[in-house]
Amino acid sequence: MSIPTEQRRISVDDAEIHVEITGSGPDLLLGAGLGGRGIFWARQIQQFAKYFRVITHDHRGCGKSTPGKTVSGVSQMADDLIAVMDALHIDTAHMVGHSTGGAIFQHIALEHPGRMHKLVLSCSWAGPDEYFVQLFAMRREILVKCGPAAYFASGTFLAMPSSHLQPQMQDSRAFMEERMAAFPGLEVELSRLDAVVGHDLRNELHKIQHETLCIGARDDQITPPGFTEELGRKIPGATTHLLDEGGHFCPIASAEAYSARLLQFLAP
């Protein structure tokens, strides 16, 4: 039997943030990546909710949150989440951030250290290198010149191992329709891409004092394993764990191994 989920909308400045709460116990925030939708964590929520009160949210402008809201940078998305925590009366929580979510939680760890207990940085990065800059320049060009369908298709092929993706694509039209329905609009998506490329905390990460797990996959093409290893080096005492496979979407493609490692780390 599944654990019920409570849905709430929380006012944050000029936007309403869609939040879902599942389970009971210590608070655990799961932060999504560039797509910005809490549904990214569908393979983890019910399992983690056996041990934690799991909170997911849709970033401003994404999913069920107020549409059309651009972002000024990752720090603004971090401020949004602190406001969500305040509204839910959450003083301290474990935080698991995937990709852009990991960038958000780096900001929280540095700017609001008392609000965080354990930290997981999943397929994230400390700052861009030339590979990263060129990759996202290409993704931006595909979006602007070819449109959102090509943008989502190319992003999906980059993020997901073919061994996982190919069996799902028996009906390519249905496969892409769900992704197109989630497109937040050109202006919003471009602002999010700019926020991603602009994130760089390499010179600050040595200040993070939280118990930290840096997890990624060896076959990740968007944030290659060197990014996960760099985070592990720069954060004092951090543990680094690389899955053999799963790509950038290893929480989906290698869900069993991924979730088991997180639960091992997050256990009291």
pLDDT the model gives residue 171: 66
Q: Mean pLDDT over residues 230-241, rounded?
A: 98
Predicted local confidence at residue 178, as pLDDT: 78
What is the β-pairing status of strands 212-217 and 53-57? unpaired
| Residues 11, 18: Cα–Cα separation, whole Å | 9
Rounded to whole angstroms, how far apart are CA atoms 207 and 30?
Answer: 22
Question: According to the model, what pLDDT value does residue 183 have?
Answer: 94
Q: Could you read off the pLDDT of 129-185 as tens digits, one per residue?
A: 999 999 999 999 999 999 999 999 999 999 999 998 888 777 666 667 877 888 999
Q: What is the pLDDT of residues 174-218, one digit of tens each?
A: 667 877 888 999 999 999 999 999 999 999 999 999 999 999 999
Taken as a whole, the chain contains a residue count of 268
The position carrying tokens 């879902």 is: 20
Query: Which pLDDT score, from 0 to 100, does residue 191 have?
Result: 98
Does this model's pTM top 0.85? My answer is yes
Q: What is the spatial distance between Cα 160 and Cα 258, in angstroms, rounded to a whole number?
A: 15
Q: Which amino acid is at 29?
A: L
> Look-up: residue for tokens 């910005």?
36
